[in-house]
Amino acid sequence: MPRKIIKVKDIKRNERIRFDMGDLKELAASIEKYGIIHPPVVDQDYNLIAGGRRLAAMDEVLGWEEVEVDVREDVDELTRRELELEENVQRKDLTWQEQVEAQKAIHDLKQEIYGPAVKGHESDGWGIKDTAELSDRSVGSVATDIKLAEAMEEHPELAEEKNKFHALKKLRQMEEEAILEELARRNEGPSSDRVELIHGDAVEELQKRKDATVELVIADPPWGIGIDTSSQLAKNYGVEYEDASTEALSLIEATCNELYRVMADGSHLFLFFGITNYYRTLQILEDAGFEVDPIPVIWDKGSGGAPAKGLAMPSAHETIFHTWKGRRYLNHGKDNVFRDIPRTSHTERVHTAQKPVELIKQMIELASDPGDTVLDPFGGSGTTAIAAALAGRKGIAIEKSDVNFGKMQEYVNTTLLAEGVVE
């Protein structure tokens, strides 16, 4: 990149990104004392690409008429915007609104250049993960910023909040209100006899059910591993349920007792559980009457998901008890690891503990027949209901939380519509 001295008045500054110059005096003093270490960058026509703040310090504070610049030749429009944004997103003096907007702008621009990544597939396209790597940030924080920037376009009042934390809180309230309004408007579940979504408590709803009317159960209860429901992370992702160990294990126990009654003779249950509760959960299942394989089934999620550096290794798998009532052989031979099924991407997820439809569908196809009833007492996002409907079974999902139930209705409806299962 050739370096040149040119006149300040010849440099064309671009106003595409609002640029609050902030306090330039300190920067100007440093440039005066040490010289300019990274000169501003211009293109062949002297359009400023990067270094707006440094240029302003030399021009407006030091009053220099000539400055040293790096000239980048053959810069096309997309590359110029890319350089400009990358420069701006690194600035330390951005307001929170500018920061989330710049993060979204850079993500959109990269997708314009490389095309969007295809969900759940390896592709050449650009995804949130790529933007996160580029900005040296976590996928979760970049996804949150982009979501917030999108929401600010539709609801400019969000940008009036004093910081990002308050804006996210308000966004969450708005989403919850919208869901509850939508619920009140519809007052009914999806229009399909393939799924039944029940808003209520698992144990109470199971008590209303007749004996031996379910051919397969997939259950993913609160694990009782003490997820802090008051944490910001939990709030952002809608962890609504009580996850203390004692309460969760009592709930699992009461639910398993009812499940054993409603399950047909010759039916299977897959129960996701927290490994720290291995013995207690095994005991609960055996006490309820189930025959239990003591070696847990593993779902290999492909990646950990926790921060890159840390003391402990991020967990890239989940454990599941496979249990049964009476004799019913599995439909095909299968070892006890479900491999190569990635977790649902952040952008697609509507529930923090959402399982991939593909995983549940494989369980359903392994341990039930078309036309069977598959029940999930802790429905969450409705994954089991969706997977059951896609596999030609009837799916029943029970969910207690108002907010999660609203999201489940929405998610099940839209997915089944998109898949052509309902019209």
| Tokens matching residue 270 | 């897959």
User: Would you say 105 or 386 has its CB closer to ligand SAM?
Assistant: 386
Spatial distance between the Cα atoms of 51 and 38, rounded to a whole number of angstroms: 8
Residue 353 C-beta: closest distance to ligand SAM, Å: 4
User: Would you say 39 or 296 has its CB closer to ligand SAM?
Assistant: 296
Residue 404 C-beta: closest distance to ligand SAM, Å: 4
* 351 contributes a contact to ligand SAM by CB under 6 A: yes
Q: Which residue is nearest to ligand SAM (CB)?
A: 380
CA neighbours closer than 13 Å in the CB half-sphere of residue 347: 15
* 400 contributes a contact to ligand SAM by CB under 6 A: yes
Residue 222 C-beta: closest distance to ligand SAM, Å: 5
User: Would you say 69 or 252 has its CB closer to ligand SAM?
Assistant: 252
User: Would you say 97 or 404 has its CB closer to ligand SAM?
Assistant: 404
Whether 253 contacts 272, CB under 8 Å: no
User: Would you say 192 or 404 has its CB closer to ligand SAM?
Assistant: 404
Binding-site member from 380, 391, 396, 412 for ligand SAM (CB under 6 A): 380
According to DSSP, the β-strands at 291-300 and 317-325 are antiparallel
Binding-site member from 28, 128, 206, 398 for ligand SAM (CB under 6 A): 398
* 70 contributes a contact to ligand SAM by CB under 6 A: no
List Cα–Cα distances, 65 to 7, 33, 60, 195, in angstroms.
6, 18, 10, 72
Sign of the C-alpha dihedral computed for residues 157, 162, 166 and 167 taken in this order = positive
For residue 47, what are the β-bridge partners? 12
* 355 contributes a contact to ligand SAM by CB under 6 A: yes
Binding-site member from 88, 99, 354, 413 for ligand SAM (CB under 6 A): 354
Whether 385 contacts 397, CB under 8 Å: yes
Binding-site member from 97, 381, 409, 413 for ligand SAM (CB under 6 A): 381
Cα 175 from chain centroid (whole Å): 15
Q: Give residue for tokens 């996002």.
A: 381
Spatial distance between the Cα atoms of 193 and 175, rounded to a whole number of angstroms: 28
CB within 8 Å of 157: residues ≥ 6 apart: none
CB within 8 Å of 249: residues ≥ 6 apart: 224, 277, 280, 281, 284
* 99 contributes a contact to ligand SAM by CB under 6 A: no
What character string, x for contact with ligand SAM (CB under 6 A) and - otherwise, covers 157-196?
A: ----------------------------------------
* 383 contributes a contact to ligand SAM by CB under 6 A: yes
The number of beta carbons lying within 10 Å of the beta carbon of residue 240 is 19
Binding-site member from 36, 151, 202, 269 for ligand SAM (CB under 6 A): 202
Spatial distance between the Cα atoms of 342 and 320, rounded to a whole number of angstroms: 16
Residue 351 C-beta: closest distance to ligand SAM, Å: 4
Site for ligand SAM in 205-264 (CB under 6 A): 220-222, 240-241, 251
Whether 163 contacts 96, CB under 8 Å: yes
User: Would you say 372 or 399 has its CB closer to ligand SAM?
Assistant: 399
DSSP result, 302-319: SS--S-SS-SSPPP-EEE
Residues lying near ligand SAM in the complex (CB under 6 A): 201-202, 220-222, 240-241, 251, 351, 353-355, 378, 380-381, 383, 398-401, 404
